[in-house]
């Protein structure tokens, strides 16, 4: 089984070096202890993430279906589709502004409008609050995208927690709004998502790569506990909570992007395989020695990953 081309081997060192830099920049040194002051630790992480946001003036803050969103519209042309975006942050931190650079890129390169959901965050709003927000915006787009944006076709995607909400939203659209609504989504862009809240082996630290990662098992467990307080791991394996355990039939083509140094590696490997086995088109894109969040880093493997995502979405729009 060849998970990446031989040409990627020469790019491993750059990926490892960048992983070291990013892990150091996002170090939790000085953060309140999670056990004694969990909310203080959450607020520390929120401030750290806000400090690296690059806000684009073309984004407009709007309410969609009663949910705050950040909206981008291509100027002077009718969008080719509407891209429904979910930001990352472990379901507890971050905002749509974190995705401004990526969403502007999609708007410019693919000609899409973008609606990025400012879903409610745990621990103030644990499961299923954020998922409910995602479904509300998706349902509104199914009904109103053509009249409001001039484009009936929909795409959906996100990174990390955004990958989780991407898959969760698709499943709920299919199950609660019906197959015709689900068919409006032409493709899913699932970037190093988390799909098992009870924690896969790689989430627990059983990894094939030794390079540093911005995630670690202790932090992942903290995110899981804040998102699903009071649940046992068996309860977290409910398909409503963890998409990895869901019936995955009748879902759109999807590209799953992940690096081997990512603590969420197994989530993408497992879900992509189940996605394909369920009869859907699935493209698994694995990048050696790349850690969590690597697509935002200035490396050759990140460039190749983003180009592959663009090509996948372009094919979905022209099929």
- Residue 232 class from Cβ within 10 Å (0-12 exposed, 13-18 middle, 19+ buried)? exposed
Cα–Cα distance between 129 and 67 in angstroms, integer? 11
pLDDT tens for the 319 residues of the chain, in order: 899 999 999 999 999 999 999 888 777 778 898 889 999 999 999 998 888 889 999 999 999 999 999 999 999 999 999 999 999 999 999 999 999 999 999 999 999 999 999 999 999 999 999 999 999 999 999 999 999 999 999 999 999 999 999 999 999 999 999 999 999 999 999 999 999 999 999 999 999 998 889 999 999 999 999 999 999 999 999 999 999 999 999 999 999 999 999 999 999 999 999 999 999 999 999 999 999 999 999 999 999 999 999 999 999 999 8
What structural domains and CATH numbers belong to the chain? Answer: 6-318 (3.40.50.1820)
Cα–Cα distance between 255 and 318 in angstroms, integer? 16
- Residue 281 class from Cβ within 10 Å (0-12 exposed, 13-18 middle, 19+ buried)? middle
Of the CA atoms within 13 Å of residue 302, those in its CB half-sphere come to 16
In degrees rounded to 5, what are phi and psi of residue 234? -65, -40
Distance of CA 189 to the CA centre of its chain: 8
Cα–Cα distance between 176 and 86 in angstroms, integer? 20
């Amino acid at each position: 089984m060849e998970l990446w081309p031989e040409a990627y081997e020469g790019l491993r060192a750059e990926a490892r070096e960048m992983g070291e830099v990013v892990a150091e920049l996002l170090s939790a040194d000085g953060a309140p202890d999670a056990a004694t002051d969990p909310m203080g630790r959450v607020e520390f992480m929120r401030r750290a993430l806000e400090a690296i946001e690059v806000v684009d003036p073309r984004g407009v803050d709007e309410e969609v279906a009663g949910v705050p969103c950040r909206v981008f519209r291509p100027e002077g042309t009718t969008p080719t589709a509407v891209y429904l975006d979910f930001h990352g942050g472990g379901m507890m931190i971050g905002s749509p502004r974190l995705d401004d650079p990526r969403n502007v890129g999609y708007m410019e390169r693919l000609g899409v409008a973008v609606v990025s959901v400012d879903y409610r965050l745990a621990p103030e709003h644990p499961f299923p609050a954020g998922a409910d927000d995602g479904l509300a915006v998706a349902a509104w787009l199914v009904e109103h995208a053509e009249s409001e944006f001039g484009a009936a076709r929909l795409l959906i995607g996100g990174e990390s927690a955004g990958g989780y909400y991407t898959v969760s939203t698709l499943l709920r659209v299919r199950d609660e709004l019906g197959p015709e609504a689900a068919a409006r989504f032409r493709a899913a862009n699932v970037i190093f998502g988390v799909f098992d809240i009870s924690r896969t082996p790689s989430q627990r630290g059983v990894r094939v790569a030794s390079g540093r990662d911005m995630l670690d098992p202790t932090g992942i467990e903290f995110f899981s506990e804040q998102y699903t307080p009071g649940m046992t791991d068996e309860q977290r394996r409910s398909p409503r909570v963890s998409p990895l355990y869901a019936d995955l039939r009748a879902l759109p083509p999807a590209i799953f992007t992940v690096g081997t140094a990512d603590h969420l590696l197994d989530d993408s490997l497992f879900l992509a395989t189940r996605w394909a086995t369920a009869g859907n088109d699935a493209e698994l894109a694995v990048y050696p020695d790349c850690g969590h969040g690597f697509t935002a880093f200035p490396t050759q493997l990140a460039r190749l990953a983003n180009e592959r995502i663009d090509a996948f979405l372009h094919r979905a729009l022209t099929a």
